Amino acid sequence: MKKAFTQTLIELRGGAVVEEATNELNTLVAMVRDTGKAGKITITVEVKPFAKVQDALEVTGKVVATLPREKETAEVFFPTVENNLSRHSERQTELPGISLADSRSVAHG
């Protein structure tokens, strides 16, 4: 009779692989709900000969989560002749009496 794959997962690293996958799945579900974007969890089980003991196998388990990311907002800057970035275009003159609102003061009302 074949042993269930899930039973082997439970035995890897004393159950740590299953616990890690469970935690990552919970985080993934929350992130997908928050962002509306897809993510995935990959569980890799590697099996290779154990060099020190004949007829023994070395088995490792690894959990990798690829979580969806929020789109980061872009900011607009203008390059200067010195190749620095500035909020103001050097080619456009300032209008007297007009200034840009500070984004921090606007956010705090």
Question: Which tens digits make up the pLDDT trace of 10-56?
Answer: 999 999 999 999 999 999 999 999 999 999 999 999 999 999 899 99
In the chain, % of residues over pLDDT 90: 61
Q: Which long-range contacts (CB under 8 A, 24 or more apart) does 36-44 make?
A: 37/68, 37/69, 38/68, 39/65, 39/66, 39/67, 39/68, 40/65, 40/66, 41/65, 41/66, 42/66, 43/9, 43/17
Residue 57 has pLDDT above 90, yes or no: yes
Res 92: pLDDT: 74
- Given the structure tokens 């985080």, which residue do they identify? 27
Res 100: pLDDT: 63
Mean pLDDT of 57-70: 95
Per-residue pLDDT of 89-107, as tens digits, reads 877 777 677 666 665 555 5
What's the CA gap between 9 and 5, in Å, rounded?
Answer: 6
Mean pLDDT of 70-83: 84
What's the CA gap between 55 and 74, in Å, rounded?
Answer: 57
Residue 88 has pLDDT above 60, yes or no: yes
- Given the structure tokens 């209008």, which residue do they identify? 95
